[in-house]
Amino acid sequence: MAMKQDNSQAKLQKKKSENAVPYQVMAALALLCCALAALRAVKNYYSTVGGFSALYDLTPTVALCGGALALVTLVAAAVWKNRVARAVLPWLTALGAVIAATGVSMRISWVEGFSFLYYFCGAIAVQYIIFKLYRWEFFLVSLTTILAGGLYFSLSSGMSWPPRTIFLLLALALSVVLSSVLALAAGRRNGTVALPGKKSVHILGKRSTPVFILAANGLWVLCTAAVLVLGSLFAYYCVFAAIAVEFVAAVYYTFQLN
């Protein structure tokens, strides 16, 4: 009897969670618009002499406060098991990451780094929406694809290596390694990966294989190596390759939902 009640409660919670997804997606889009508008306002003010004089010395403090907010809320979301807290804290983590990135970018790149900040906010919103609507498999494919697209776009204007380009290269390398390891581990365990605390996460679908994740990762490794050899023109074409892969993955995984 108790087991039946537990199963019914679990199904009810799952249904409530699924019903909340459309509202969470709309909230993510609304917050993205607000973030882009706020960044644009900061950019316009910081590009003036008065704005630069007022904000430049504050940028390290802004970066440190943002980083601290992101770290604290990330740890709290991992430790705190309250359902409401776990729903709210990731938003604060994203906000802290954006604030930290804004402070660092304003310090080292003046207003030239705001295009990266726009991309950064868009990438967070897209990944959040994919995480809510699809399974982990699409999330991992999209993560490496978005990072690769951002890297190639940054290199398409010239083979210079500002901090944001180095960050994208390191983030891409890390995501390729981690997603490949998770995909291979899930392929050996019927699509699941064991986590600490006797929990498991379904990385792959019931009939899925890690081939798509590994193929996408292999493609970006080859494209990145080719960009480093062939230069910015090839990086420009690779941007369209990343867009195409993201579109194909979206169509494929949308049909997988049915």
Q: Indicate the average pLDDT of the chain.
A: 86
The pLDDT of residue 218 is 94
Alpha-helical (H) ranges within the chain are 2-46, 49-55, 59-79, 83-109, 114-133, 136-156, 163-188, 211-230, 232-257
Digit-coded pLDDT (tens) for 58-94: 999 999 999 999 999 988 887 887 777 777 888 889 9
Q: What is the dihedral sign for C-alpha 117, 118, 123, 129?
A: positive
253: nearest Cα among 169, 155, 134, 126: 134
Residue bearing the bigger pLDDT, 163 or 9: 163
The percent of residues above 90 in pLDDT, for the chain, comes to 53
Rounded to two decimals, what is the model's pTM? 0.86
How many Cβ atoms are within 10 Å of 175's Cβ, its own excluded? 19
Residue bearing the bigger pLDDT, 251 or 4: 251
- Could you tell me the pLDDT band of residue 35, with boundaries at 50, 70 and 90? very high
Digit-coded pLDDT (tens) for 216-240: 999 999 999 999 999 899 999 999 9
Q: How long, in residues, is the chain?
A: 258
The pLDDT of residue 160 is 81
Residue 15 has pLDDT above 70, yes or no: no
